[in-house]
């Protein structure tokens, strides 16, 4: 299991235009016991092709140390959870395993409660919108799912009235 935010980001990562499936990625799991801290998983995937058609698919999952994670992120940061980092920033391996509240901290409801959380969700939303719809220019903004008159995606200082654009 992982956090609500990271599950959402993982699903979208594979669908983004220009984001091919990554044969190697690093994932954060909150573990089976709530409040027990996180673990870091290295996931390796390989499609088995025969005459250009998928014959099979193999995935391996290996727990790694915080130090291994930090070294991997220095070399291949895009194999981490880059979409989630748009919303909550990059965490070190030690921060991941030490966190006892990561699962609660990374729900959409919790993130909407603070200005920093709302700004992070805005960054993620803006990035996804641009990846799927292309850059928004002043002339295309009129056709955007975000309306400056308070329609879908309207942003407010109140956490209760925040709505995420296009989702």
| Own/partner pairs, 14-23, CB within 8 angstroms, 24+ separation | 16/128, 16/131, 16/132, 17/131, 17/132, 18/131, 19/131, 21/45, 22/78, 22/79
Q: Tell me the pTM.
A: 0.68
**What pLDDT tens digit does each residue of the chain (167 aa) get?**
788 998 898 888 777 776 666 777 888 787 655 556 778 988 888 888 888 888 888 889 999 999 999 999 898 877 778 889 999 999 899 998 888 888 889 999 999 999 999 999 999 999 999 988 888 765 444 434 443 333 333 333 443 433 444 43
| pLDDT for the residue 33 | 57
Helices H / strands E in the chain, number of each = 8, 3
User: Residue 132 has what pLDDT?
Assistant: 84
Bridge partners of 50, per DSSP, are 53
């Amino acid at each position: 299991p992982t956090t609500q935010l990271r599950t959402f980001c993982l699903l979208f990562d594979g669908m983004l235009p220009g984001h091919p499936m990554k044969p190697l990625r690093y994932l954060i799991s909150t573990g089976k016991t709530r409040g027990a801290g996180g673990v870091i998983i290295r996931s390796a995937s390989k499609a088995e092709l025969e005459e250009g058609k998928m014959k099979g698919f193999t995935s391996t999952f290996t727990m790694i140390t915080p130090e291994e994670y930090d070294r991997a992120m220095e070399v291949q940061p895009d194999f981490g959870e880059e979409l989630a980092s748009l919303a909550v920033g990059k965490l070190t391996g030690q921060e991941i395993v030490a966190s006892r509240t990561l699962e609660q901290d990374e729900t959409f409801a919790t993130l909407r409660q603070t200005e920093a959380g709302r700004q992070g969700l805005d960054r993620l939303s803006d990035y996804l919108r641009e990846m799927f719809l292309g850059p928004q220019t002043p002339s295309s903004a009129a056709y955007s799912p975000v309306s400056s008159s308070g329609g879908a995606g309207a942003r407010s200082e109140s956490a209760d009235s925040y709505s995420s654009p296009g989702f």
